Structure 1
Amino acid sequence: MACVGEKRKPVMTPLAVLCENMHLVKKEIKEGVARKQSAENFNIKEFWRKLELAFQGVAKEATKLSLAFSKPPRPKEMECAHLVSGLEAAMLTVVSTFYSLPSELGGTLRKCIGDNVLDAVQSIELLASSLDDGLPVDGSKQHLQHSHQLQSTGSVWGVCDSVSLLPRDNKAAVLAKIISVSDLVKDALAELEEVKASKGAVCDLEVSGLSDVDNEDEETLPDHGCDDDVDGSSRQWGEEDERMVGPIIGLVKVAKSVLKKMSAAIERYCTSPPTSSEISELDYVLSTVDPFSERCDELVSVMYMPIDRKAVHQNAAALSEVLQKTLAVFKGVALSQDDHAWIEFLSSAVEHNLSKLRACHLTTHT
């Protein structure tokens, strides 16, 4: 019996319970809680068949739940609880199937699939939230809620359909990740070219209309067209700033070339599916690539006025360190003399651009 004055906890609706349960599942996946599974006799084709069927089940149950709320009257609590139970069971089947994937098949592959599962959990949360907010309101708000419900349902469908596009092994997962990082580095390079054109002035950037900057390895050497006259205005680069831009652009171009060459070498020499040794090597190489886009972004961000030249040199050194580490690691797994040749070339290009940047600083202070 409740004590006098004690507040009773409000009874949660089935949809609210679903949201709470999905939140717990999401937290568990993010924290990396997983059951250990053996790779021995594991059938990867059967895994993908089960995973796709499980996602189809989620889409089906989400559709049933959404349709029940598509027009008045809203389903009664018992009916709603039944529909929620079906959706929750389908989602837990997806999670259980994901957990059956042995870690030995690759950390990158596991993370790729896990991210997709997280997206599905998040989409279920959003759908349940949109339905739970569906209280009687005036016409305009009802239309807005219905639109939100349709968007949330469509999001569930999209995530469930995308499972067929996921990489099927660790090699494919690593290559997909490298492409993703490469796209971000290209964006950083495009922004840096725009900053160069504006001489560091802060402005609205329209990088989407820039010309393609994906050229070959000769781009990795620094630009020498950095001697344009400047008007001395504090809103634009000074003389030293102008000289720094060439080596900075050169470093970012090295990052782009490293990713391009690595991707080509992995595609050529790694088997599909990769062997156990290749799986661990690919994961290790990728761990060195992950910081590329962040280091490039940090370098670009300090090229705007007012420039902190110390930060420019620090960020350039940080990007150089990441590049050299990746090249050294990849050199240990490269399989041909050609690979060793471009690794040495790009390593020299890193040092060349860093030396040019240091020279800019020394010239100004002598």
Structure 2
Amino acid sequence: MSADNSIPDVLVPLRNLFNCVKSTRDRVRDGESNECSGTFCMSNFWETLDQAVKTTSQEATKLSLMFSRPPVPSEQVHQPNPGLYQLPMRLTFDLIRRFFSFQECAKLADSFQKSALALSTVYFWLPKNQGITLRRAVRDATAEVFEGLVQLLDVIISSPLQSLSQDQLTSTGGVWAACDQFKELPKDNRSAVLAVLTSNVGLVKDALEEMEQALAESQDPFGDILDDDDMDVRGNQDTYWSQSDRQLICQCQGLMKASGACLRKLSSAVRNNGRVETEENIAQLDDLADVAKDVSPNIDDLTLSLYPPVDRCAVEENVCKLAVVMKKVLGITRTSHVCLEPDVSWVEFLDGAVNHNLEKVQSLLHDSNS
């Protein structure tokens, strides 16, 4: 036992590395950026970050390759040992792993750790005054790389043999994919905010299309023989929309379409007029992104409340919430630098459209309750 305990465990450096990478991942997720005391050079940041990401990907590949081939025995086990070959195959490999190339593994783990720490250090260079939205995008991408590294190390440490398992292949590929996405990251806060707006335009469009498809596919089994006055005698009323339901949905769709139009116009304004030369402009862009992100969840809530059986109390609540969010989006837009004189007209038009559709929905809801 004493002799066995004296054998260097090749996995010790990996376990230490695993703990370090996991801790760094958590710090990236929750940590604050460094204070920027001087002039921040965005081009230098991206150049250094790209190199750090490339190095991290290479180190992950080297580590994965090292543990995907049979180990080269050290001099301690170079001479044949008949007793060793009588052991079960798994135990044989476990023993060889403990003898083999401890220094090589420790050296590679150290290089791996340095590259990972360098990546996190460069991320923390990015100050908040360059844009909260941009920093979130870089943070999420960096955290995803570290999550991939944690998974890869966990797979390697957990593998009983030095063979390239499917889990190890998948984990290595996950690190590559996380590193590759840095090429697509927005390079300033205007681009980051524009990406948020574009994403939400797509989400709103999907919600509208989903509702339109549901309306087209939903058939009232008694619609051709009974009037709305006979609704009480119908069966399975929870599975279809009545004519009054459809009228309500139509007005709700008007508000949802106005919301989508607002996000599209805002995206165009940010694309054409957005500026990042001053901290005030950058902060205004962040405000637009933050409020715009509330549009899609509110549309989802409204959509869900419109499915049969229609919960009219929930519909009214969700319509009012969406209208409040849209008024806030339009208000922040109007006072921001992206709203030039030609943009005031569409802001006012959509503000009127929100009011009009809200009044129509509330009128229908109140008529149905009277």
Shorter-chain TM-score above 0.5: yes
1:297-343 deviation digits (Å, cap 9, x = unpaired):
11112222232221111111111111110101101114423211101
Instruction: Give 1:30-109 correspondences, 5 Å limit.
Output: 30-38=29-37, 40-73=38-71, 76-109=101-134
- Using a 3 Å threshold, how does the CA distance of structure 1 residues 85 and 354 change in structure 2: closer, same or farther? same
* 1:22 aligned residue: 21
- Using a 3 Å threshold, how does the CA distance of structure 1 residues 30 and 300 change in structure 2: closer, same or farther? same
Corresponding residue SS for 2:187: coil
* 1:193 aligned residue: 212
Measure, in 2, the Cα distance between the counterparts of 1:17 and 1:247. Answer: 60
| 2:179 is the counterpart of 1:160 | yes
Measure, in 2, the Cα distance between the counterparts of 1:200 and 1:320. Answer: 30
Greater helix proportion: 2
1:192-240 deviation digits (Å, cap 9, x = unpaired):
2122224499xxxxxxxxxxxxxxxxxxxxxxxxxx9888541112343
* 1:220 aligned residue: none
| 2:318 is the counterpart of 1:293 | no
Measure, in 2, the Cα distance between the counterparts of 1:112 and 1:164. Answer: 12
CA contact (8 A) 1:196 1:245 kept: no
Q: Which runs of 5+ in 1 are unaligned?
A: 1-10, 202-227
**Out of 166, 174, 180, which is 2:199 matched to?**
180
Report the Cα offset of residue 12 of structure 1.
Answer: 7.7
Question: After alignment, is 278-287 or 66-75 more displaced?
Answer: 66-75
Opposite residue 252 of structure 2, the aligned amino acid is I
Measure, in 1, the Cα distance between the counterparts of 2:219 and 2:120. Answer: 48
* 2:263 aligned residue: 259
CA contact (8 A) 1:199 1:242 kept: no
Opposite residue 87 of structure 1, the aligned amino acid is F
Measure, in 2, the Cα distance between the counterparts of 1:172 and 1:351. Answer: 31
Measure, in 2, the Cα distance between the counterparts of 1:76 and 1:254. Answer: 66
CA contact (8 A) 1:248 1:353 kept: yes
CA contact (8 A) 1:200 1:304 kept: no
**Out of 110, 124, 128, which is 2:153 matched to?**
128
CA root-mean-square deviation: 2.5
- Aligned residue pairs total 323
Opposite residue 88 of structure 1, the aligned amino acid is Q
1:234-281 deviation digits (Å, cap 9, x = unpaired):
11123432221112211221221111101111111123x443221111
CA contact (8 A) 1:127 1:149 kept: yes
TM-score w.r.t. the length of structure 1 is 0.81
* 1:269 aligned residue: 273
Corresponding residue SS for 1:302: helix
Question: After alignment, is 69-78 or 124-133 more displaced?
Answer: 69-78
Corresponding residue SS for 2:335: helix
Rg larger for: 2
Measure, in 2, the Cα distance between the counterparts of 1:302 and 1:20. Answer: 46
Q: Which runs of 5+ in 2 are unaligned?
A: 1-9, 72-96, 221-225
Q: Percent identity?
A: 32
Opposite residue 20 of structure 1, the aligned amino acid is N
Measure, in 2, the Cα distance between the counterparts of 1:318 and 1:291. Answer: 10
Report the Cα offset of residue 172 of structure 1.
Answer: 0.8
- Using a 3 Å threshold, how does the CA distance of structure 1 residues 316 and 200 change in structure 2: closer, same or farther? farther
1:118-140 deviation digits (Å, cap 9, x = unpaired):
11111101111121221149xxx
1:97-122 deviation digits (Å, cap 9, x = unpaired):
01111221111111111111011111
**Out of 315, 319, 325, which is 2:318 matched to?**
315
